[in-house]
């Protein structure tokens, strides 16, 4: 599969989707994108900037949801023009998909909506590459049916993104075996920041354990994923959304260098599990 002009897969270099959870300002978006782009170029990996204009699944209705579609798309267009990187955002059931597809290079579907057939097929018909977030309530093999729904109406241009499975109350776990299982359906992306989220763990908002982001990221790259998704912020403790499970932007260089080294080692030969 080609993504933003680059081949992706278990025989191709890792790619990165990264940015703040929610768009807060034009300045923040440009800062994050402009910081990560040269790192990605130095390491020889594809980088896609991520930012949400509307977080419709916040714990509380009073929480910050984003700047809205019009302002959000303006900011994303600015990032594309000034920084020169492709961009990704999420959409929801009431989103004007045509307007989004005119600006956004890669569209993402929320985990909670992956079982909504009409929604998933409408998104598939945009013709854009789609990053399909795996539901916290879905097994890896069930995601094959989600891809089937989408390929029934459009050419296969889809990725599957693991973001943890609900395990008890306010907790998520990631099964690395699932990353290999989902390869049968689509290129696999691992969301190493939402996977350390504690949904609703702070009562009125979600908590998180950002200290485990590098641990899960290294494990997923070792498992042979095609790409990584991570949320990052210059000051996570001041982020307006998902700060507890965001990686400090200053930590990005060290983590990326390690992950790219692991990726190269893992993909230096055909993956053994595919031969068993």
Q: What is the pTM of this model?
A: 0.95
Q: Average pLDDT in the 260-264 region?
A: 98
Out of 22-26, 151-155, 199-203, which region has the weakest mean confidence (pLDDT)?
199-203
β-bridge partners, 50: 88
Contact 132, 156 (CB under 8 A): no
β-bridge partners, 231: 19
Q: Average pLDDT in the 174-200 region?
A: 94
Q: Give the closest residue to 269 by CA, choosing from 66, 11, 7.
A: 11
Between the two ends of the chain, the Cα-to-Cα distance in Å is: 24
Going by pLDDT thresholds of 50, 70 and 90, the confidence category of residue 259 is very high
Q: Average pLDDT in the 233-249 region?
A: 92
Q: In the predicted model, is pLDDT for residue 60 greater than 90?
A: no
Going by pLDDT thresholds of 50, 70 and 90, the confidence category of residue 198 is confident
Contact 18, 231 (CB under 8 A): yes
Q: Give the percent of the chain with pLDDT over 90.
A: 85
55: tokens are 């977080």
pLDDT of res. 201:
55
Contact 228, 189 (CB under 8 A): yes
186-to-4, 81, 89, 145, 202 alpha-carbon distances in Å: 16, 30, 19, 11, 34
Q: Give the closest residue to 29 by CA, choosing from 71, 65, 75, 70.
A: 75
Going by pLDDT thresholds of 50, 70 and 90, the confidence category of residue 199 is confident
Could you tell me how far CA 274 lies from the centroid of its own chain? Answer: 25
- CA–CA gap between residue 216 and residue 4 (Å, rounded): 26
Find the angle CA(148)-CA(19)-CA(23) to the nearest 5 degrees.
100
Q: In the predicted model, is pLDDT for residue 265 greater than 90?
A: yes
């Amino acid at each position: 599969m080609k993504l933003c002009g680059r081949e992706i897969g278990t025989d191709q270099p890792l790619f990165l989707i990264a940015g703040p959870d929610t768009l807060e300002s034009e300045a923040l978006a440009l800062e994050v994108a402009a910081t990560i782009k040269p790192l990605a170029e130095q390491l020889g990996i594809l980088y896609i900037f991520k930012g949400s204009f509307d977080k419709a699944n916040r714990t509380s209705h009073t929480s910050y949801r984003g700047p809205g579609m019009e302002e959000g798309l303006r900011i994303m267009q600015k990032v594309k023009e000034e920084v020169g990187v492709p961009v990704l955002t999420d959409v929801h059931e009431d989103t004007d998909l045509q307007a989004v597809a005119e600006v956004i290079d890669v569209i993402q579907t929320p985990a909670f909506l992956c079982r909504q057939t009409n929604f998933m097929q409408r998104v598939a018909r945009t013709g854009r590459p789609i990053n399909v977030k795996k539901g916290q309530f879905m097994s890896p093999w069930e995601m094959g049916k989600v891809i089937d729904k989408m390929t029934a109406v459009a050419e296969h241009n889809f990725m599957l993104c693991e973001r943890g499975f609900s395990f008890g109350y306010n907790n998520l776990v990631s099964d690395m075996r699932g990353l290999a299982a989902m390869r049968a359906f689509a290129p696999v992306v691992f969301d190493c920041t939402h996977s350390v989220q504690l949904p609703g763990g702070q009562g009125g908002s979600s908590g998180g354990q950002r200290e485990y982001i590098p641990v899960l990221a290294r494990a997923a790259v070792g498992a042979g994923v095609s790409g990584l998704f991570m949320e990052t912020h210059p000051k996570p403790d001041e982020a307006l959304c998902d700060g507890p499970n965001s990686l400090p932007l200053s930590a990005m260089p060290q983590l990326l260098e390690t992950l790219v080294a692991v990726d190269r080692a893992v993909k230096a030969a055909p993956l053994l599990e595919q031969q068993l």
